[in-house]
Structure 1
Amino acid sequence: MDVSKNKGDIAGQKKQVVIVAMTRQMLLDFTGPADVFTNADRLLHGTGVNEGYDVKVVAPTYDRKVITSAGIDFNCRYCAMDVKTPIDTLIIAGDDHWELMAAELVPFYEWLSGINEHNTRRIGSVCAGAFALAKVGLLNGRKATTHWEMSEKLKAQYPSIEVHSNAFFIQDGPMYTSAGVSSGIDLSLALVEEDYGKEIAVRVARQMVFYLRRSGVQAQFGNLLPVYDTTNIGQKLKLWLDGRLHEPVDLSKIAEHFNMSVRNLTRVLQKHTGMPPAKFIEKLRVEKARAYLEDTDMSLERIAEYCGLGNLVTMRRIFLRQLAITPSDYRRAFRTSLKDTGDQDLYPV
């Protein structure tokens, strides 16, 4: 088995993986990738390979502390500024947008500004860690992703980045960005496969009881429509249409309810939600159908009827367009936990 995919590495030398724990909310942002690389290193050692990974989880501040909201505090052996280049793989794990700690993070961003493809082979991020990379210009002109809730914010703050909100992870040259939380595991497994081949990556995935490659896209996990402010016409329209989705769309009736002309309704909705009425209503129908698929045993035909999605063929086509998954596959993947496990009596839903 050829496990040495990276021919430029010095034989027997471990690859230095540095994971910066920027988040205090989602521990999996940094513990997930750390587990992938440390398990890969252990498995490689078991096969007689002297290479593998030297993994360091570091703090972004000089006090070397990561104080989490889960009641677990980490005293890291190193802070990021202790780490000298060259680095093999750098991963920025999360970013809670610490406005109140901006002064404490200045040295970290100065250090990150010195990171580039000449002294670091691969540079990546998990979840909102893309914002840290963007802040120092590492993602300028590149494709990137982040958690679905923050993709619009990343687009607005850094228009030079080509943001793909559906992907679990994206590579653009030496830059690797991943989506929300567990996507850091997806990315790390892909990096292990890139280094040492599929067999090792599969063994790590099995050890962690995780998929080597998850099917689908990030959109399956997020809301197709964001939560709008109560004064936003999008939120008002959502509330008004909630009990009327089984009815045919009548824009003139909607416009009359809001004391607008159809033309003005279309203009205002486009301005405040970024989409025309037909697209907005279709997404709203799909959101309603998702809730039925997750929480009820209602037939697909009745769900299509109740949500105004026509028939099963039409609903399937719309689901594939909006979520890249069929309604039946969505139900199997996302139905309420414990529904079909036989444990309902022990753990009533």
Structure 2
Amino acid sequence: MKQDIEGANNYHQKKRVVIVAMTRLLLLDFAGPADVFNYATRCLQETGAGEGYEVLVVAPTSDKLVAIASGIEIRCKLSAMEVGLPIDTLIIAGNDFSEDTAAALVPFYQWLSTVNEGNTRRIASVCGGAFALAKAGLLNGRKATTHWDLNEKLKKSYPQVNVNTDPFFTNDGNIYTSAGVSAGIDLALALVEEDYGKDIAVKVARQLVFYLSRPGLQSQFGNLLPVYERSNIANKLQEWLKDHLHEPLDVSSIAAHLNMSVRNLTRVFQKQTGMSPAKFVEKTRVENARRLLEDTDIPLERISEQCGLGGLVCMRRIFLRHLMTTPSDYRRAFRTSLKHAETEHLLS
């Protein structure tokens, strides 16, 4: 079997990439990586640098039908269970977590349980596809990532997996996992670079108008604070905080507002939110600053004052700690797109 895989990985033979379209939500989960590998093949064959990839997009169910929420239905040529081993690269793309399809997916998980490093050189996932790998036991004791919004769910469902949702993609041995949706393109480009070098990968990235190595981390996209239940003490505090962020808030002033002792506030807050009142206030300040950076042209110094972030130097340090980026870089990346387009038009 090992000899078969080594033969399949010969530089001048096509590498079989099997993409299982698990998602019923987002076409890009599997279409993005498929486009990367297909365009890489075109580049390689044009230059005579290699044969590239044989890309198979397959369904996880025997009916071979993938129905996307946008109304698109795709009938694949094969189901995953009809794909013979060995495979060069297997990618599980997305996961809609629907209980309606659980029974239909039993044969798929039986097939996935036969996949290992002896018959598949690389095993990967996009977004919620990490849950499929975890369910099959392929992530046990390994580090993995997924969409930032699925972070806690993956940790709770599979505590034996070392979950880190900061990077857009990561690998542990022959297992590769990537974050949400477009991160599947990041991962696919990295796999092309691994196979055929930077020049080919850069050429593909340029054609797709995409970074070869995207700056930033997932933390820039996710919310620092979850949505709390109405009865949660944090929910009771949030509205009041919006009008008082510019003030020098401490635990005593918060406790006084809630008619609680400092000791009781600290105990209840930690129990209900998993963080201290001071940490909650800091994250609230950052979240409000983010919105102002995205939606307004207010100068950074004024935003720092309005949100109580203690000046530009302190604001920069806090942003780096929570979002792994500076306020100015965050504004460039996430400012309202229509506003940005309008500014570009006026400058042209």
- Smaller-chain TM-score bracket: over 0.9
Match of 2:74 in 1: 74
Superposed, 1:107-256 pairs within 5 Å as: 107-256=107-256
1:126·1:146 contact (CA, 8 Å) conserved in 2?
Answer: yes
Shift of 1:160: 1.1
SS in 2 for 1:56: strand
Please identify which structure carries the higher helix content: 2
Give, in whole Å, the separation in 2 of the partners of 1:216 and 1:323: 9
Shift of 1:227: 1.5
Shift of 1:340: 3.3
Match of 1:3 in 2: none
Match of 2:39 in 1: 39
Give, in whole Å, the separation in 2 of the partners of 1:333 and 1:12: 40
Give, in whole Å, the separation in 2 of the partners of 1:249 and 1:198: 50
2:64·2:77 contact (CA, 8 Å) conserved in 1?
Answer: yes
Give, in whole Å, the separation in 2 of the partners of 1:60 and 1:259: 56
**Count of paired positions:** 341
Offset from partner CA, 1:183-232 (integer Å, 9 cap, x none): 00000000000000000000000010100011111111111111222222
Shift of 1:98: 1.6
Give, in whole Å, the separation in 2 of the partners of 1:153 and 1:75: 30
Shift of 1:305: 0.5
Match of 2:267 in 1: 267
Offset from partner CA, 1:72-123 (integer Å, 9 cap, x none): 1100111110111111111111111021221111111111111111111111
TM-score, normalising length from structure 2? Answer: 0.94
Give, in whole Å, the separation in 2 of the partners of 1:326 and 1:345: 26
1:44·1:200 contact (CA, 8 Å) conserved in 2?
Answer: yes
SS in 1 for 2:231: coil
Give, in whole Å, the separation in 2 of the partners of 1:100 and 1:256: 50
TM-score, normalising length from structure 1? Answer: 0.94
Identity of aligned residues (%): 67
Q: Does 1:102 align with 2:102?
A: yes
2:8·2:88 contact (CA, 8 Å) conserved in 1?
Answer: no
Shift of 1:344: 8.8
Q: Does 1:17 align with 2:35?
A: no
1:33·1:185 contact (CA, 8 Å) conserved in 2?
Answer: yes
Q: Does 1:62 align with 2:65?
A: no
Give, in whole Å, the separation in 1 of the partners of 2:38 and 2:121: 19
Gap change, CA 1:295 and 1:11, over 3 Å in 2: closer
Shift of 1:345: 9.0
Q: Structure 1: which 5+ residue stretches go unaligned?
A: 1-5
Give, in whole Å, the separation in 1 of the partners of 2:140 and 2:237: 37
SS in 2 for 1:16: strand
The Cα RMSD (Å) is 1.7
